[in-house]
Structure 1
Amino acid sequence: MRIFIYFEGSCELFDVSPTQTVRAMKQMLKENFLVQLPDDNHVQYFLELTYGGATLQDSWALCDVGINSGSAIRCLIKSEQNPVIHVFNAVTGETIPVMGSETLLHMSVAGLKTLVSMQCGLPVSAFRLSSLAGVQLYDCNQLQHYGTAVGATLRLDSWDGWVDFLHGCLLGHSLTVQSHLSDEKVVMRFQLRVALYIAAFLGHLDLADWLLERGVHAEEPVGVHPYRQWCHQTAHQDTGKCPIHVAAENNQLLILKLFVTKKPLTLACQDFGGRDPLKITIQHGHRDCVRYLANKMCSVVSLPNISLPMRIYLQMQRWMSLGQKRVSSVKCQYGGDSLKAWVVDMLLVDGFSQSKMSSKCRKADIEPRGGIRAKALQPLPPISNLLSLSHLPFKRTPHQKRHIFQPVNPSDFKEMQKRHKLDRKEERLNKINEGDKRGTSTLPPITMGNLSRPVFVGASPKPSKILTASLKSSHHCGHTPSENAIYCLSIASTFTEKPWFKQLSIARTLIRKCVPSRIPPTWTGPFQISSLSA
């Protein structure tokens, strides 16, 4: 078949095979147009073919995506910047690429932690960076002091026993977060602040609402771990960042509305640079957040006997909060329950004590939380010993019950078996009668062999073959047919210049060609399962 190729303002006609792959097509275009891609270690150049508004993958065949004779394909030279540093996240198992130039190697470790925190969503006080050899990177040093080269891989580790807790925060599951909180009160309060930070970063509205009800404040900085409170002078400057600032940076409008509705004082909360949430949203160009915060700052607060502008009301609230903090500090000084670390608590100093940040899972509790110790099970003797002791006479201790063993005739044993079967039948009949009385009935177990596969009438000349092909491909790649269908529909939806029926035919062709074998293990896709029934 003949197709048209557009490249750098020129259009040429090519005779190609319908089964030719996109990779072979690119090689043919390089030889025909004499394309020479620059060789640069920092920037990668490659050819990209687009058809119908979608980018063609190298493993696809032309007929799989509906390219017929007379179609037009656009060819472009694209460049992709290689990451300067890779950071392996031990919490999620993902690798975070850090983009930039080679001057990134001359920055401090604290600056790198800020970039990593803005990508992964974890506060800087919840993780540390180290090399693959296990050398910890301290904030005050530069990357070049550790011999970090371009393309190097660093490791991100969190506090020991925090992996499951952070997974719950990243997914927004409040029950998981609650079940993995620390037993120490000061550590638990720090974990709650970390959870609200992550919820504000990712926009988990339910988790943020639950944390606010627990007493966590959106205008309160995350701070440092209680084990490092005595060394706060050397703490990272981002430890003073509040969840309200994180929500403003990441354009989380619903989270901002929740914080401001719960406590209007968050509008006047300033970060370490003296910026309030409105200034942060203006600098990042988030129009919806700027519009909402500006309307709030220009609004009027109606009190029972007076109406005040929002700025004056915020100033009054700030004075009241300062007074409350002073009163609470005095109470804690004279016997109150303080939430800060004591002198007898654990103290971690960089370079002098062993680090407690290696992403280890929490150890299993030896004793249950109820306070009752679990009894150790006595090991059973080997079977050979039991057989050798069977001929010995039985001795009964005073604390043991008396067991009498009598011989049983074979006929009596058969009668006992019959009675046991009759009793079981009577129990089944009683259960069925009880279910009928309640209006329920038990159904027999369903096996996959008895089920008939559905047939889509009118979808294609032989729709059953299409379904069989999808089932075979799903069995081959280890995914369910619904996952393969969702993945193929998402690929077909990238052909934005094609009508919906044409995209559906492309998805069917991809299913028949076993293209879904390239589905990543953690891919979910933009489509829902309910969209397949439509």
Structure 2
Amino acid sequence: MRIFVAFEDVRLPMDVQPGQTVGDVKTVLKDHFKLNSSHAEGKILRMIFAGAILRDDWVCSDIGITSTSVIKSVLIDSDQPVLHIRCWYNDETVVIRDQLDFSKTEVKQLQRLVSSKTGLPVTVFRLCTKDGKTMFGYHPLERYGIELGTTIHLHVWDGWSDLLKAATRGHTKKVLRNTSSIEQIAKYQFRVACYIAAHFGHVDLANSMINSKLGGIKPEEPVGQHPSRLWAKDSCHVDAWRTPIHEAVTCGKVNIVRIFVQNSICSLTAKDGSGRTPTQLGFGCKQVECVQYLTSKLFSSYTENNVTLPVMIVIKTKKWSERARESVLTNQGAYKSSTKKRTYRPQAMVGHGIYVDGFNHYAMNSAPIYPELNPYGDASNHDHHYLTQADKRDVLLRSGRPFHVRYNSTASDQQLPKIPDRKSAEKHNRGTPNTRLNSATGSYLQTPVPQKHRLPTIAEGQFKTIQRTVARVEGRIPLPAISFENHLRPFFHATPKSNNPIQSTMKNFAKYRSMDPRDNAIQCMTMASTFKDMPWLRQVDLAISLASRGVKRSVIERPGCENQAKSLPKIAASPVKAK
């Protein structure tokens, strides 16, 4: 296909073959315009199409570039990344471009910067070098050999990967499904999820976390430390006591701030680890809308039980009443106290263990709940290899998590026979006429009922049945009662002993794409959403095309399959100067 590349004031026609990438087009463009010379040193070539910045590994035919399409190319100043943060919980890399002095910048400052980029609280992850050495807060980066362009690895708590991925995407049900069965750890996970929802602006997840029936988290509660590290809370990072409302104000999420204030009026005066309120933080971050809303709430009145008072007096009264209820609960017991939920207090408790940096076995390795070997084996073998049940039990014993032992049994004769419940049979047949107990078998028998008033039988053919066509409605689209379609549709014939064809297709898709089909669909839709000039339905079609062509290319490029020779696009004609 022939496309046109616009550079400065000229337009260059170029013939691009199927399978050629954006990087191939850039290579030809740099050679033609001599962009590798000294005058272009320190600059990079960027190509833009439909409002999206094209990446070098994207295939031109896959991203909606058709014949006669025009791609804009510009030279911009090189913005080389200072550091790369490899996030193992979601297999992504975060680029840090802020200028850092490695001899003076401490690790805790880098942790704060990484937290602002990823949306994770500082107590959820740890940073380590390429060699696996953990980086501690008060040491400079130079001590760990960090240089320009170094890759730093980010690991989270074991078994938290699915929870954090669901929270960053705003999937409330998946967050609730992946929480721990231990109450203290589950509360800590809810606070983390509420913090992440405040960072990304997920309204549904934030509502669920502050709901008393689900998460029960207060917006003014700090995220805090993991229960196994509360014994060292005095030496933790200062941002560990950052609350969800502070994070919402920092990111400028006004809708989340409104939800938090409506849920708890006391969140207006909440303080972070540095003693700043949300209003003070909003002034520092120049979030005008958040500051206007918080200021209007602070200097307004609050009505409850037909009593109107200034907001500051209401906040002080609520805090005093909470302290009074806590005192009654502590001194006189729960019978005389009206406390429904105790205020969060970061206190270490017996049974949660003690986690000491540098001494304990690290529980922050981004490992799944059931650690697995490489699910696809080596590069030439795609068979699944999982840990045995005994290995999983040993891992769970070391981590302190509950587990259930399952014994696989394929023989049908190992199942115990069902014993009939006599009491339930008596209850079921109680009051039923014409029943008697069989003493031999212990079951109830139904005596035949005399057929005195039996209706006469109707012979076939005496009456004609009237069939009415009823139009079924699926969703909002009414379907016709009778289909006149003559085209044959694909038919799947599956015997009871064969596998479900849909499940087998999904397994093959995951095998060749090395990821779950749902995650691949999300990735394709995220990639298609970068083309902001396209209509939404066109973005959906592009995501479908990316998913189908991606799996086809993965099958073709497998080892042992024939690959076409790599070639570069060709310049069709001399460049035309734009008017």
**Fold match by TM threshold 0.5:** yes
The CA deviation string for residues 200-236 of structure 1, in whole angstroms up to 9 with x for no partner, is 1122222222221232111011111111111112101
Q: What is the rounded CA distance, in whole Å, between the counterparts of 2:54 and 2:175 in structure 1?
A: 42
* TM-score, normalised relative to structure 1: 0.63
Pick from 133, 136, 141 the counterpart of residue 135 of structure 1: 133
Task: Verify: 1:298 aligned to 2:320, yes or no.
Answer: no
8 Å CA contact 1:87–1:97 kept in 2: the answer is yes
Structure 2 CA distance for partners of 1:77 and 1:168, relative to 1, 3 Å = closer
Change (3 A) 1:519 1:89: farther
- Going from structure 1 to structure 2, the CA distance change for 1:237 and 1:60 (only over 3 Å counts) comes to same
Q: Distance in 2 between matches of 1:201 and 1:487?
A: 19
Partner in structure 2 of residue 352 of structure 1 = 359
Q: Please list every run of 5 or more consecutive structure 1 residues that lacks an aligned counterpart in the other structure.
A: 40-44, 381-398, 400-435, 453-476, 522-534
Give 2:561's aligned residue: none
- 1:114 matched to 2:123: no
The one-letter code matched in structure 1 to 2:39 is Q
Residues in 2 aligned to 1:124 and 1:79: alpha-carbon distance in whole angstroms = 33
Mean Cα deviation higher: 353-362 or 235-244: 353-362
The structure with higher relative contact order (CA 8 Å, sep 6+) is 2
Deviation at 1:247, TM superposition (A): 0.8
SS in 1 for 2:78: strand
Corresponding letter in the other structure for 1:231: A
> Structure 1 146/332 Cα, relative in aligned 2: closer, same or farther at 3 Å?
farther
Change (3 A) 1:238 1:516: same
1:484/1:516 contact within 8 Å kept: no
1:220 match: 221
Which residue number corresponds to residue 280 of structure 1?
281
Shift in Å, 1:197: 1.0
1:376 pairs with 2:407 = yes
How far is the alpha carbon of 1:53 from its aligned partner?
Answer: 7.5
1:314 maps to a residue whose letter is: I
Q: Report deviation, 1:258.
A: 0.9
Question: Any unmatched runs of 5+ in structure 2?
Answer: 18-24, 371-388, 397-401, 412-416, 418-466, 473-480, 491-511, 555-579
- SS state of the match for residue 222, structure 2? coil
- How far residue 282 of structure 1 moved from its aligned partner, in angstroms, is 2.7
Q: Alignment partner of 2:216: what SS?
A: coil
Contact 1:113/1:124 (<8 A) preserved? yes
Contact 2:238 2:273 in 1 (8 A): yes
Q: CA deviation at 1:139?
A: 1.3
Percent of counterpart pairs with the same letter?
Answer: 25
Equivalent AA in structure 1 for residue 98 of structure 2: G
Q: Is the 8 A contact 1:221 1:239 kept in 2?
A: yes
Secondary structure, in 3 states, of the residue corresponding to 1:111? helix
Q: TM-score, normalised by structure 2?
A: 0.58
Post-superposition offset of 1:90: 1.1
**Cα shift readout 1:512-531 (whole Å, capped 9, x = no counterpart):** 9x99769999xxxxxxxxxx
Give, in whole Å, the separation in 1 of the partners of 2:522 and 2:196.
29
Indicate conservation of the 8 Å contact 2:50/2:531, yes or no.
Answer: no
Quote the offset at 1:185 in angstroms: 2.2
Write out aligned runs for 1:77-88 (5 A).
77-88=75-86
Read off the aligned partner of 1:36 and give its amino acid letter: H
- Per-residue deviation at 1:145? 1.0
Cα RMSD over matched residues? 5.1
Q: Is the 8 A contact 1:91 1:163 kept in 2?
A: yes
Q: Deviations over 1:466-492 (max 9, x none)?
A: xxxxxxxxxxx9999x99998998687
- Post-superposition Cα deviations, 1:311-370, rounded to whole Å, max 9, x if no partner, equal 33223333333444555565799xx99984334541111122222111122138869xxx
Shift of 1:35: 6.2
Match of 1:427 in 2: none
Whole-Å separation in 2 of the counterparts to 1:348 and 1:113:
19
1:264 equivalent in alignment to 2:265: yes
Give the corresponding residue for 1:450: 488
The verdict on how the C-alpha distance between 1:262 and 1:108 changes in structure 2, with shifts beyond 3 A counting, is: same
Deviation of the 1:102 alpha carbon: 4.5
Q: Is residue 238–residue 274 contact of structure 2 (8 Å, CA) maintained in 1?
A: no
After the TM superposition, which of the residue ranges 188-197 and 337-346 deviates more from structure 2?
337-346
**Residue 180 of structure 1 corresponds to which residue in structure 2?**
178
Residue number in structure 1 paired with 2:454: none
Is the Cα–Cα contact under 8 Å of residues 89 and 155 in structure 1 kept in the other structure? yes
Residues 102 and 150, structure 1, Cα contact 8 Å, conserved in 2: no
Residue 134 of structure 1 and its aligned partner are, at CA, apart by 1.4
Q: Which residue of 1 aligns with 2:33?
A: 29
| Amino acid in the other structure paired with 1:121 | G
Post-superposition offset of 1:93: 0.9
Paired residue type of 1:187? I
